Amino acid sequence: MTVAPPRRPLSQEQAAALQKELAALRRPAKRRDPLWARLTVVLGALLMLGSGAGIVGSKWVISSATSAITRQDLIGNTKKVSAKGTDPLKGPIDLLLMGVDARKRWAVDDLRSDTIIVLHIPATHDQAYLVSLPRDTQVQVPAFAKNGYPGGVSKLNEAFFHGAQNGGGWAGGAQLLAQTIKANTGMSFDGAAIIDFGGFRSVIEALGGVRMCVDQRVKSHHMVWVDGKPLFLADARKTGKPMKPIWHEVGCKDMEGWEALDYSRQRYGLKNGDYDRQRHQQQLIKAMAKKASSSGVLTNPLKVSELIKAAGKAFVLDTGGVPVEDFIFGLKGIAANDLVLLRTNKGTFAGNNEGRETITPESMEMFKAVQQDKLGDFVINHPDVIANEK
């Protein structure tokens, strides 16, 4: 047995340094992953270069990585008007996120935006909120000179369809939807993104799946099992083989791309119908961002390459004229865990016998809080608008 030599007493400087280190270890570390790492799938920024990367290098790589993403004018005349000479990234930021299901057999103008989410970032850049708008809300759709649409009363998700007709395309659909939201809620935008849920699947697969928590047992109305493989109903019928229903069972689990997307698309058979679907889609966005920022995916060059390639097929992006790299880099200091999911109409149906939704006075107040950048105060005074994440 060896005997350790006697320790020398610490000098005052060494003792002070040791106390400082111990104090730092006792303090809980506050995680400060950049917001764009949480929202990579939304903004197309699929790189996290680490704290050691220089600003110039980071911006260059982000610019190169996002160059494959299609960019169009999606907000048209609903873009916020900034004072001349001011930096649009210094104030509150509002992005319109639209989800479409663009399967190959559908024409580019035969689409409705069944997922409509407003991402609000206050001027303090210390929080981020996802506010879902009910697809079946009855609204007055403005006239759209771009394709000759005369305007009329319609469901909110149909505004995208009307704007896409007669050569309007996806950009026209997005612009008319943005105009409709502004006309009926007052909210305007700094940018927008169209998310193709078919492309979303490849992003999730590049992430290696995501963890989702099913809160209600629900049967898929879009997919079935055939020979142990999940197929869309239309494709399954073509095989002529026996089909078994796909059930999403209650509990938390790691899901593949097809499973996570299928679950997040269900609304029939859920207690609160489309409101539950809105919440599940918010959860999916958060789960994807969490997986990207917490699993080391964004520091793996091969995985990053896969994500960039997948994201380029899944998005059409509009950053309001701000370079994508500046837009992303300008938000890098926002805490990753500060993403709050909010419910319109408290997550329950408020409408008429025709299945059309109306917006409650409380929700209109929430939209006004978005415009005035007072959403944080509103949430404090109306905590029941916060969506349960499980």
Domains of the chain by residue range: 42-215+250-385
Are 364 and 324 spatial neighbours (Cβ–Cβ below 8 Å)? no
128-132 and 138-141 as β-strands: parallel, antiparallel, unpaired?
unpaired
Are 274 and 348 spatial neighbours (Cβ–Cβ below 8 Å)? no
The alpha carbon torsion through 10, 15, 19, 22 (nearest 10 deg) reads -30
Q: Cα 287 from chain centroid?
A: 10
42-215+250-385 under CATH 3.30.420.40, yes or no: no
Q: CB under 8 Å to 152, separation ≥6 — which residues?
A: 140, 141
Angle at 120 between CA 44 and CA 214, to 5 degrees: 75
Please give the span between the terminal C-alpha atoms of the chain, in angstroms, as a whole number: 57
Q: What is the pLDDT along the chain (390 residues), one digit of tens a residue?
A: 434 444 455 455 554 554 544 444 334 334 333 333 334 434 433 333 222 233 334 555 556 656 667 788 999 888 887 655 566 678 898 999 888 765 544 455 555 666 788 989 898 877 788 898 988 899 999 999 999 999 999 999 899 999 999 989 889 999 999 999 999 999 999 999 887 766 678 788 888 899 999 999 999 998 999 999 999 998 999 999 999 999 999 999 999 999 998 998 888 888 888 778 878 877 887 788 777 766 666 666 566 666 766 766 677 888 888 877 677 666 665 544 567 888 888 777 776 667 788 899 999 999 999 999 999 999 999 998 887 665
